[in-house]
Structure 1
């Protein structure tokens, strides 16, 4: 019986994906240079460069192609940053995350079947900020937008900036001592992500919960691991995951839990830790008190019927999974890039030293701000936007798309296009400064995407990168180690491509674009 049920589940899942096979024969295709099982960020970025070289406004790229071509799933890539901004800002039909929703459905179904804590109050649609933006679900869309607005209000308001800077500064002493110790005072190359991740997570959860996780390192360290593994499993589109998430819920109920993807039971621990921290938060706060944390604001909304209990919990989970990993990896990118360009590092150091490393706001050190944004461009760890699913039939760049088809914007492709950035293979922070020496963001650069589904935490991320970099520059000189495979610097497309790992998307941290070698030397400065 089990085999028959399994075969039926697989057949229905395959048929559902077959319905989403190639429907756009007139849209150019770009194929990876390796089998799909070996595909990863490097090969996808190469397709972006090819799409821009051929001046294609839109092209398709295979995510799944199996059973002799019977089963296909394509991603449609938008290349033009101005058109992309217009589409994601104005369209009411591109606000879905069809490829992500089932991740939460699976975790919730598992929790309900195993009778986990508070499982009885869970509902498949109560998934916080990633709820679908769709005219067919006005209430869900309203809740999704409220979740986004609450996060942005707290992160982006000028009145709170000094608070977030202070939270970053509070992590510097621990971070500096940890890096000195593990790096053996600059003699041993290290991957800084292992240490910048806990620091960034502490800032994020202090922001979310008003709880200092440096005093609760057991929670901090577990949540860091959950967050990295969770984000990998959400973003990565492997064949088994695609098939499993497309099995109808009523059929999945017949599949023994031991056959479920391993990340499903593993992620239950993150929910448990968040619920624990929520209880810890509520020992000193209750509805009606002044709401100074994101959790307090969300719980107030819940008490007023504006969202549901698990919208609150899952929004905190989503912040854990996306708010620290991306910041820590981007910070590693800044440090690696400064190690590769010592003359720019020295220029930045002298500027900061001349002002005694006092730069409370972006405007206090435009060159540092420019270094961060040039790193976003030249070292695009986050090389693409999240995939967006179409929520209703619509036209994009002259092509008609049906519900549930996938689109994305090629961040790295636009970043390295001569049309948008002169001499793109050169690392030049000055390109982000105007004639008066003030920071000026390019309209072509979209490291956080744009529109209704852009990253709501982008201001907080910028604050963290700016101030973590400033403080680490004060204490360390960043150098490549003698065996580094990402030197020398060659300012050509081939030289730039040679920086990046060619590992598949299944390799650790390869849900994002990764350098071949993430290790650098952090040599203590004599302060």
Structure 2
């Protein structure tokens, strides 16, 4: 049987499967409406495959805050708007807190770790993660001191450029990475260390490739895509190398483990592993440790470093806002070291930090959820097993909560007297049981790194540079490559 015959057979089988599935799902009344799908392809051709959240946001204007869409033969329910997403993830958390089966992530994580795990395994790993992050300083003075020390190292690195243009941001990514590395491994890497540079490359490349249409095709047709070359193969290769480093690291740590002197998250996990309880065997095994450390390393590195790159670009783009931040810092802190206790005294700076996160829109979609049981939600019937995708982009662009959503406008977080005001629709870390476990750490890092950098430097665009605020291609919204002059203020 030649290749053409095989491919034709696969297409016919997929077509028949799609017809059968649509007939089966057709019996459900009040399923959320949506655009009519094509056989096999679904609605793929109408999507902005590089930034699908843009298409979802536009479709919400036609179909409302809850609608359906087909990605290949996978039928999904899209949730838009703060009220609808909050209702799903908070008020109906028991129904919408599981993860759907994803062929790509099933291959890379196999249901282990925290991000793509389900059931009791996820509950145990999340409890362990939250308690251990708190034990090793999340939200406390000890981790604040580590961040301020790292921020000073970053300041010295940027000073070495002497105000000349540079476009290599590995030092900024490395500074953020060192914070999560301290918690996971009790280490600090120099910014030029080949080990940390390689790990950062693997994570950054995978984050970009996860936004590729090839990944969506893989999740729709894994059997076929396993036989074809493409970016999905690079993701698997990078993940294997990344996880190999983690396994080698904790294998070494196991030989050095002192149960009376647990130094980091890996030590604590290994101690749990040796407790001899039933839970130790069921959940505290090497596969869970490998994927958990990978999840935390990637999340701890990517979002905060990307937000910092947005912050520098936005300060260049809006120099008057940068000056206003610097004036407030000079008045309140002067040349003293920035501390978290200063945040309440720096309302404008705090507002700018929040607006950077809203405008940057780093994670426009949450990681998909799934309906764990049949449910009627907002008047629509959603059957068990349906993939649910909350679109955070739709919230951060909502004029009901943000007066000028398409603009960079710090006043979104200031009242009429210039005092900082919270906005309930500001949820860059998502909400509910699946919200980011490291949210408290990320907020502390963002405030301390940003305020320290703007205290010491004025960020200016090189002569003739065009400052493009359009996000780069990738699964997250990161700024396109740019150059900057970090001009020392003293």
Q: 1:514 to 1:257 in 2, by over 3 A?
A: closer
Asked whether the 8 Å contact 1:20–1:73 carries over to 2, the reply is no
> Does residue 1:207 correspond to 2:174, yes or no?
no
1:230-309 map, 5 Å: 230-234=206-210, 236=212, 238=214, 239-245=216-222, 261-286=233-258, 288-303=259-274, 304-306=277-279, 307=283, 308-309=285-286
1:30-429 map, 5 Å: 35=45, 39-41=49-51, 44-45=53-54, 47-49=56-58, 51-52=60-61, 54=62, 56-64=64-72, 72-89=73-90, 90-100=92-102, 102-107=103-108, 124-125=110-111, 127-133=112-118, 141-155=119-133, 161-180=140-159, 184-190=161-167, 192=169, 194-214=170-190, 217-234=193-210, 236=212, 238=214, 239-245=216-222, 261-286=233-258, 288-303=259-274, 304-306=277-279, 307=283, 308-354=285-331, 355-356=333-334, 357-361=336-340, 362-429=343-410
Asked whether the 8 Å contact 2:329–2:346 carries over to 1, the reply is yes
> How many equivalent pairs are there?
467
Which of 19, 29, 33 pairs up with 1:27?
A: 33
TM-score (norm 2): 0.82
Cα distance in 2 for partners of 1:329, 1:412 equals 16
SS at match of 1:130: coil
Q: CA deviation at 1:408?
A: 1.9
Q: 1:9 to 1:46 in 2, by over 3 A?
A: closer
Q: 1:37 to 1:398 in 2, by over 3 A?
A: closer
Which segments of 5 or more consecutive residues in structure 2 lack a partner in the other structure? none
SS at match of 1:315: helix
Asked whether the 8 Å contact 1:359–1:365 carries over to 2, the reply is no
Q: CA deviation at 1:380?
A: 1.0
Cα distance in 1 for partners of 2:129, 2:418 equals 32
Cα distance in 2 for partners of 1:46, 1:240 equals 18
SS at match of 2:388: strand
Which of 470, 481, 486 pairs up with 1:500?
A: 470
Which segments of 5 or more consecutive residues in structure 1 lack a partner in the other structure? 65-71, 109-123, 134-140, 488-498
Partner in structure 1 of residue 484 of structure 2: 521
Q: 1:35 to 1:132 in 2, by over 3 A?
A: same
Q: 1:20 to 1:73 in 2, by over 3 A?
A: farther
TM-score (norm 1): 0.77
> Does residue 1:511 correspond to 2:472, yes or no?
no
Q: What's the RMSD between the two structures over aligned residues?
A: 3.7
Q: 1:526 to 1:477 in 2, by over 3 A?
A: closer
Asked whether the 8 Å contact 1:241–1:261 carries over to 2, the reply is no
